[in-house]
Amino acid sequence: MEQHTYAIMDDVEGSHWWFVGRRAILESFLRQIVQNTKYKVESPKILDVGCGTGANLEMLAQFGESKGVDVSDDALEFCRQKGLKVQKGLAETLPYEDESFDITTALDVIEHLDDDVAGLKEMHRVTKTGGHSLIFVPAFMWLWGVQDDISHHRIRYTRKQIVERLGKAGFTVQRATYANWTFFAPILAGRTLMKLTGIKPESENNIGISALNGIFGRLFGAERLWLKNFNFPFGVSIVIVAKKL
């Protein structure tokens, strides 16, 4: 990502509706993974690949011993200021031993990689046999917007594409569903309008209506109730649960 976006992210990810809603959905998926009757680890070791400024890492800590890895010194400094355990490293060459973690996560990270399969293979390598990976990626190239540009994304995936890449990396996909259908139409409309008008904000994370921020976050996060038993046919993002057999 562009360096200035880390300060913006650190400032807004605790309260911005997108980050709040996404964490609620991810927390629900993680709870299902950890509470799986076949999952015997009481305090799983968790690695967040591309941990950014640390809000997701703080959320992961409630489920076990969480660590983060990121390539950005700025992002890592924000994490250290929060007292989080982090290390510098590339997703494609993770600085950890084989089978070091019970759960690995990559939350809006894989789309940044020049070789996404290489990054997924590294996640597979450091995940213990029987362990899980939770992946969250943006969906559909025709939803490409300003945030994709400033975040240096390489791709927005279809569900088929990300599932195929996880398969190539050695994972068995247990669940793959689109997410954020709640704001699919307004996000599509907003990005189409920006393309037509040439409007280019410093970051889409700066765009919001403060009076409605809390409501939007709760609406987005409420998708977790549907996603417990239902796969969405479309959405702005895709969430995947994969297992290392």
CATH number of 4-243: 3.40.50.150
Residue 203 and residue 197: Cα distance in Å, rounded? 16
The pLDDT value given to residue 196: 82
Res 40: pLDDT: 64
Q: What are phi and psi of 39, to 5 degrees?
A: -95, 110
At 163 the pLDDT is: 98
Q: Tens-of-pLDDT digits for all 245 residues of the chain?
A: 555 667 777 787 888 888 999 999 999 999 999 887 565 667 899 999 999 999 999 999 999 999 999 999 999 999 999 999 999 999 999 999 999 999 999 999 999 999 999 999 999 999 999 999 999 999 999 999 888 888 889 999 999 999 999 999 999 999 999 999 998 988 888 888 877 887 666 555 545 556 567 788 889 999 999 999 899 999 999 999 999 99
**H or E segment at 238?**
strand 237-243
Q: What is the pLDDT of residue 23?
A: 96
Q: Where are the alpha helices (DSSP H) in 13-158?
A: 17-34, 55-60, 73-81, 116-126, 146-150
Candidates 62, 32, 239, 36; CA nearest to 130 is: 36
Give the Å distances, CA to CA, from 132 to 8, 46, 241: 31, 10, 7
pLDDT of 9: 78
Global confidence as pTM: 0.89
Domain chopping of the chain, boundaries = 4-243
